[in-house]
Amino acid sequence: MRYTARIIGVIALLFIFVFATVSPAVAGWEQTTTEITSTYEVIPEDAVIHVSKDIAFTNLDRDTRYWQGYYSNINHNIPDNAKNLHVYDSSGVLEFHISDGDHYTFEFSEKVWYEDVYMFNVEYDLDVNNNTATFYVNEPENTDISIIIPQEYETYIGTDGYTTEELSGNSIFILESRSDQRTTFLVDAVRHTEMNTMSDIVQLEKRDVKVTIEFWDGEEEWAHEMLDVAIESLPVLEDVWGFPYPVNYNITITQTSLSDTRGYGGSNNWSNGISMLHTSKYPILIHELAHYWTQACNFDQLWMDEGYADLYTYIVLNQTHPQDGEDRRDKFFELYESLKPTQDIVLSEWSTPDEFTELNSDQIHYGYKKSFALTYMIYDEIGLDNMRTANTQFRGYVDIDSAEHRDIIESVSGKDLDSIYDDFV
């Protein structure tokens, strides 16, 4: 049965763990089944995603045969930002309470004996902005999924195997039940409107730079954050790199969708400005701003461009938001170590795909994190002052490769770093 009530699901993962209480017999989980029909609908006029689930719980637990016991409730995960939670069956509203963290216990209105099927419904809303709805679908096996989004939205569905229908001005994306695996994917829906703008001037060492943010209606909070971060970070970047803002044009930062960034968090398009995914946070912007300096250093290999951009994001955060800087560094190293057993990349040969997808995400993450690990180890070994000196020397070279990079770093620091470079490049 497919339930097409108004729906859509969230900017948080929707985990649905199903386990029930049996009385007085001991529960035999492999002897119960739960079939779910989940619908997610974007409702722009209400600025919500409406989530609706039809749940059919079947008691096939042989320990409850012959009236030895029954199931009386079920635990279910509900996102902590859900509102207007409503749980009901054909007889009326069901009682529920929070049992553990974001798990709710729903009390059945009847005893579910052996071979009984009990059906009930769950509905709730999640707030979104007027023109953007980004959320993960994370459903267990035996779940039918429908995603309803107005046709004027540009929609990215981060999985395959779905069909699409058009009905009453909506696009309906349908995934049939899968009995062998959990279904997890990203949905990103954006309604493009005329861009609003806000701007300010940041005074840098050699010139004043105008920073302009282009953003959609309802995204003012994001725009203010991006503007504040740019104004705060640009003078710090000049200081830690050791030379002034290296280009002669102003900066435009444009809010974009996943299709615009090809799945990445952002991109620096030089004089055409910076494209920022609408869900990206401020460390991504610092990374993209740092690319003005990586370009000026004439790096010929990608690990230098991306490793230095992430390293200097850490260095800037270390001055402006120290805890965020430490957390980001530690997370990068943890991800690098966790991916190392399954990935094999020589940094001097590393390149990135044109598009970031679920299939290549580990490969891309590993390249970025390995590049950061190398540049951080160099920085940790020689210190910021030597990094500044090396940066100014890079500007006098053309197409710096790994060997030239090592020569310059070792020359300015007076240290033999073969043991570091040989492990990475």
The rounded distance, in Å, linking the Cα atoms of 257 and 55 is 34
Provide CB contacts within 8 A for 226, sequence distance 6+: 213, 215, 253, 276, 282, 285
Q: Where are the alpha helices (DSSP H) in 106-214?
A: none
Chain Cα centroid distance, residue 420: 31
pLDDT of residue 67: 83
pLDDT tens-place string over residues 68-119: 889 999 988 888 889 999 999 999 999 999 887 668 999 999 999 999 999 9
* Residue 18 pLDDT greater than 70, yes or no: no
Q: Say which DSSP state 157 is in.
A: E
The model's pLDDT over 210-248, given as tens digits with 9 standing for 90+, comes to 999 999 988 899 999 999 999 999 999 999 999 999 999
Q: Which residues contact 193 (CB under 8 A, 6 or more apart)?
A: 131, 216, 217
285, 288, 401 from 292: Cα distances, Å: 12, 8, 19
By DSSP bridging, strand 96-100 and strand 154-157 are unpaired
Q: Is the pLDDT of residue 1 over 50?
A: no
122: nearest Cα among 196, 244, 34, 62 = 34
The SS3 assignment for 300 reads coil
3-state secondary structure at position 366: helix
- 316-373, pLDDT tens digit by residue? 999 999 999 999 999 999 999 999 999 989 999 999 998 888 788 999 999 999 999 9
Instruction: Please give the structure tokens belonging to residue 296.
Output: 């000026």
Where do the domains of the chain lie, and which CATH numbers do they carry?
19-190 (2.60.40), 196-421 (1.10.390.10)
Q: Kindly report the pTM of this predicted structure.
A: 0.79
Could you tell me the pLDDT band of residue 206, with boundaries at 50, 70 and 90?
A: very high
- Give the model's pLDDT for residue 16: 31
